[in-house]
Amino acid sequence: MAGLKAVLFDGGNTLLELDYPWLAALARRLGAEGATEEEIGLAGASLLRRSGLRYATTPAPQEASSLVQESFAAIGSAIGLEPVAAAEFARRVQREDDEHPQGLWRCAAPEARDMLGELKARDLLLGVISNSDGRAAHHLDLAGLGTFLDLVIDSSHVGIEKPNPAIFRLALAQFGLASYEAAYVGDLLDVDVAGARRAGLRPVLYDRFGAYADVPDLRIRSLGELTQFL
Ligand SMILES: [Mg+2]
C-alpha cells in the first residue's frame, strides 16, 4: 500500500485470541465429541457476525458476565452440546476468565509476533485500538506483543468505542498522521471495518475462521498474509 506509515489493529480475535485448545478440550469433556479449535472459532465468529454490536462493545460491568455466559452457551449449542452441557460450558468458561491470571484472552494469535516484527522492521508505526475493559495493554504485554506496539488505545480509558470513527482519529492524532496513511486490521465487519472506513483508514478484515467468505472487502485468512500486500 503506497504511502502507508502505520498499521493499527484490533485486540481480541485479531492480535489476541481465546485459548482455543483449552476451549476445545472442555467442549469434548462435556460431550461434544471431536470438537475442534476451528469449529469453536467459526461458531464464535459467526455468532459475533450475526449479533452486530451486541458482543462487540463493552457491556456495563453488571452485565459483563451474563453476556459472556449467553455467548458461550450459544457457541456450545452450535458445536453440538446439549442445552444443559452448553450452559455448563458457559459457566466454566466464565469461571476460567475470572480466575485465570491471564483470563481467556491469553494467546497471541498465530503469526502475530512474526508479522509485527516484520512490519516494525519496515519502520511502520504499530498500534492497537480495542473495545476493552481497561486491560487491553496488560493482555497484550502478557502475550508478548506489547513490545512491538507504539500505541494502545483502550475504549474504556478514552470513553469512545469502535465503530465510532472518533476513536480511530485519536490514534491518528497521536501518530500525527492523516487517515489515508494508516491501515486498520480487525475481525468484525460492522465494528472494525465499518469504523475504520468511516474514519478514512484503509480497512482489512481478518477472517481467520472463514465466517465472512461472502464478503468482498479486503480479507485475509492469516496475519502472515498481511506482510505481502501492505
Ligand atoms: Mg475483535
Establish if 88 belongs to a structural domain. Answer: yes
12 CA to centre of ligand 1 in angstroms:
4
Largest CA distance in the chain: 54
The per-residue pLDDT for range 176-221, each reduced to its tens digit, is 999 999 999 999 999 999 999 999 999 999 999 999 999 987 899 9
11 CA to centre of ligand 1 in angstroms:
6
Residues 95, 162 share a domain: no
Give mean pLDDT, residues 123-136. Answer: 95
Place of cell 460491568: 61
Predicted confidence at residue 1, as pLDDT, reads 79
Residues 218, 139 share a domain: yes
Dihedral over alpha carbons 166, 170, 171, 176 (to 10 degrees): 120
| Structural domain containing residue 170 | 6-16+107-229
Protein residues placing their CB within 5 Å of the ion ligand 1: 10, 12-13, 187
41 CA to centre of ligand 1 in angstroms:
12
Establish if 1 belongs to a structural domain. Answer: no
What is d(CA 220, CA 187) in angstroms, rounded to the nearest whole number?
A: 10
Prior bond to 163 cis, omega within 30? yes
What is d(CA 29, CA 17) in angstroms, rounded to the nearest whole number?
A: 21
pTM recorded for the entire structure: 0.94
Residues 125, 187 share a domain: yes
13 CA to centre of ligand 1 in angstroms:
4
Residues 116, 60 share a domain: no
